Each structure stands twice: as C-alpha cells, then as structure tokens.
Chains A and B, each alone.
Chain A
C-alpha cells in the first residue's frame, strides 16, 4: 500500500501515562503512525507494550486518571481532548472497536439482536426498533451465524465463543465505520476457531471498506491479514514495514527474536523453542537507554546509555536500533516462515 491520499487516522507523538504511587507510568511513549483508507495495520507486541492502551486512548475509553498527550487526527478531526459528547458520536458509528474476550464483552441480560440494534438506533434515531432488529439479523447472516432470524433473539450465553466474536464483528460494522479497531480479536478463542473468525473479520472489512487497526501479540495472525505491521515494545514502535518485508527481512533484533520464537509445524521433533530471554521492562522503571537493551544479544554500550530513534532503513521499512548497520544479515532459514502464514 502506498501513501497517497489522506490517512483515515494519523497518530502523532501520542503518549499515555497513568498516575501511580511512584509517579507517572508511561504506557505509550511518543507513538506516531498513519492508517490509510481501507488499509489494515497490525500493531504487534507483548503484554504491556502499550498496544491496547493506544487504542483505548483514541476512543476516550481510558479512566480519567490517564494523562494523554499528543495528537490523533481521525478524518481530519482531533480526537485527543475532544469534547466527550462529540467523541461519543464518533464511537460505534465512525470508529468501531472489537474487544478481546467475547465471553464477557456482551451484556448477559440483553439479547444479541437487542445489543446490535442498540448501536444502530443510538446513532440514528430515525431507524425504528423493528428495522434495527431486521438489520441486526442481516448482519448476523453476513458474519456467518446460522439461522440468524432465530439467533437474533438469543442471549449471549446461548452463543459459543466463536459465534459471540462473530456477533461482535457484526455489531462493530453495523454502522459501516471508516475505522475498525480489533483488540486481540482471537486471543480468547480456540485455535481452530481463530482462523474462521479472522476470515470473518477480513470479509467484514471488505464489505464496509473500513480501515483496520489489528492489535495482537500473535505474529502468525498478522501475516494473513495485515498490509503493514508495526512492532511495539515498551510503549514505542521498534519496527515498521510492509507485512511481507517484515517477515522476510526483519531488521530489528526484537522483531527477529519474535519471529524466531514462533513454533512451526514443520519443525523437527525435539528442537527447543527459541524464546527471547528475560522480561519486558516495567513501565514504571524504564531503562534510560534502549528499552530492549537488557534482553538484546547485539547490545553495545550506546544501547545502555541512550534510547534509539525510529529511522528509515529502506523505503517504507523503519527500525529503532543503534546498531542497524552492524547487525548480521538475515540468513538464518528459521527466520523465513513458510508462506508467511499458518
């Protein structure tokens, strides 16, 4: 995807900090990225890397104790610091969010149809309840729920996990938003269901022409869906590239570690998994140098002393590393995932 036209979402220097007993904990630190119309951008990272907080910050869903600075332009409108009522009208209509755990993301006491109809009528009071329920039925059909005219009147507990996540996708696209934010949409699901739900998500995105921000810790998931990938670590982007480029030619030592640690089906038996040693840094006590330095096998003195900048390496491929020029080339065949997907 090339960068012509105006981005749907332009995040610039976004920082989010939470007040704690030990001062502010910076969960997101100077994050910048663009999402073009219809494009899928994946944000990949471990727990605590700031990927979800970034999404919640855009929608104003963080608690009031969060300190949010920077800018996020959505279709030219500034979301950060926007009047809550105006932002509320954008939520669920022009930006929709899909949450991680479909088991708990629906209100247990209302029917699925009722909850999908609600997102329609709340943003367009001219739609009657009957019409909204009719549209909810069509949406359930669209995401592949069998017998939608019966299922629409059922409660969340009567749906399986995978079906609930489909219903969640149906709800998210109900108002044809221009931006979908999917926060770990398959993490809570069975592996066999994951692929189906991702297909549904891709189909739903195609149907509405929405751009998508896919937040996940699962690189394997990203390969099949995203146009571009940004790898986050310690609240910052460490590497950004088109998906294929990132998998075939990972530059940043952290991304290399991530790709190496993916288990493969065609691996010889008895070969040990290859994890990244150590733990992510605490956001309360960030190291003064590069956030990854303590776990990095290529670290030098400069990594311990000062943070690295995100710099372009080749066209459209950015990496945050002091030692980009001296890193060994990617010749390890383990780094080449078979077909970049699974």
Chain B
C-alpha cells in the first residue's frame, strides 16, 4: 500500500503542474495588464509603474515568468502580494489557511456524523414519517443556493439581535479574541456549509444503505440469528461506509480549499476570500498560491479516499 501511495503521489505531480500552468496563463491573460491599476491612481509616479514591471517581471514573456514563479514556489517562496503592501504571500496564506480550517474542521465533523446517522436512520425507517421529513429537509438543502441561505441566516440573526438585544452570533467576520467570540463567529458560516453538504450526502448515504439493506448477505445475517442491532451496526454499516468515505474525503478537500461563496457572504478571511480578492486585485502570486494549494489538496484527498477504500473493502487491492 505504501508503494501504491508513493506511485500515486508521483503521478499527481504532473497533474498539479498542469493545474498551475492553466491557472497562471488564465490569470495573466484574463486579468489584463496589472499596470492598468495605475490609471486611476493620481499620486503614483513613474517609480510605481517601474515597480509593478519589476515585481511581475513584465518585461519577460509569460512562459518565462511562469518558470521563475515555479522556481520560487519549489524553494518555498510563494511570492509577494502587490495589493497588500508587498506582504509575503507565505504569511498571508498560512493566516488564511488557519481561518479556513476554523470553518472546515467543525463543518466536516458535523457533516460526516450527521450524514452517517441520518442515512442509517432513513434507510432503516424507510417510508416512515421521519424518513419523509428528512427527505424533505434534504431537498430543501439541495435546492437552497449557498449565498441565499447564508443571507437568510444573517437576516434572521440580525433580527433577533436587534429585537432582543441579544449578541449571540456574529454575522460578519472572524472574531477570535476568546473562545466564546470564536464560536459566536463560526456558527453561522459552519451552519451554512453543513446544510449544503449534509443534504446531498444524506441522499447518497440513504440510497446506498437501502441497497445494502435489501441485499442477500443481510438476509443471511438475519438467518444466522443475529440481533437487529448487530445486523445494522456490523453488517450494514461497514458496507455503507465504503461509498460515503469517498464523498467525505472529496468534501473535506473542497472545504479546506476555502468555500468561496460562504466566506464572501460572511466576510470570512479564509482561502476562498483570498482567492476572490486576489483575482479582483490582479494579484497574481496570491491567486497562484491558492490555486496550487487547491489542486494539491484535491489530489491528496482523492488518494486518501482511495487508500481508505482499500482498507474498508477487501475486494479492492491497492497495488
């Protein structure tokens, strides 16, 4: 399995490189000339112009600039942000990554536990009132656009805060002075992320649990005289986990690379916002840092999902 993992990581290198090439050229060409930013600047002089040319190496062709960017990244230098006072991107990245983790980790744990519990419950109590109610909830979550649900949550909480003088939850930004404030500021964005993910995963989990519930080996398990609890928690659950694990891993990768919409709605200083701000400010190194991180995470968690697959399902041999 170690050899398999190593081979997969080696195979991932060209994929990541390709992703960065596409991103680099797309950003360079789509966003136009970074010098255009100076057109509206009244206090800037010739030296500001030269500085931009120097920073972006604009006197060189795009492919040379890519190669020199790549050389820097390999040595651990993500470059500097031109839109944030020439701050090193390394510094910005880790700060933003930590903030994204503050949302991604709790959201992921809640999503995983909830989607598993709900899909088992729904499959076992198929066609019960609870099953229908949860299905309705899932469709609600699936059909609700992220930004709209986030805004609705904000509106409700602002209304509550204003009417009752409560200050339970923050609706904007990250407040990490103390633990209580932190919880107060992550609650709404986490809730938004959870609703969106849990809805889809529960539909999926329910379907796979139902298939297992009606399978021959579950009938065998009953015929052996196992208790219903043992049938569900030993024979069904282990099989139901196999497809769910893949979705979880991919979902976690998506959460880690920053939820662009959710972070925007809640003004959350995470990777998603960093990417969006970088694009608007034509801040090439910032955009490239996030895109690179995103592709590495996608590849790594895909690999992680495949490895877990091999652990859970003996029919899959990784070699």
Contacts and interface: CB of A to CB of B under 8 A. Distances in A.
B217 to A, nearest CB: 4
A97 B217 contact: no
B119 to A, nearest CB: 18
B224 A119 contact: yes
A97 B224 CA distance: 8
B161 interface: no
B217 A88 contact: no
Interface stretch (B12-20, B108-116, B133-141, B307-315): B307-315
Nearest to A171: B224
Interface string A91-109: 1110011010100111111
Nearest to A104: B216
A155 B238 CA distance: 15
Contacts of B227: 88
B221 interface: yes
Contact of B315 (A61, A93, A155): A155
B239 A108 contact: yes
A262 B315 CA distance: 39
B217 A155 contact: no
A157 interface: yes
Interface residues of B, number: 21
Contacts, number: 67
Nearest to A94: B225
A109 B225 contact: no
Nearest to B216: A104
A168 to B, nearest CB: 8
Given A109-B238, A155-B315, A104 B215 contact: yes
A19 interface: no
Given A109-B312, A157-B315, A61 B222 contact: yes
Contacts of A242: none
B314 A105 contact: no
A91 B217 contact: no
Interface string B287-315: 00000000000000000000000001111
Given A105-B217, A107-B235, A90 B225 contact: yes
A101 B222 CA distance: 16
Interface string A109-123: 111000000110011
A118 B238 contact: no
Contacts of A110: 235, 238
A147 B156 CA distance: 68
B313 A123 contact: no
Given A105-B219, A122-B225, 5 more contacts: A88-B225, A91-B223, A104-B216, A110-B235, A122-B226
Interface of B: 215-217, 219-227, 230, 235, 238-239, 242, 312-315
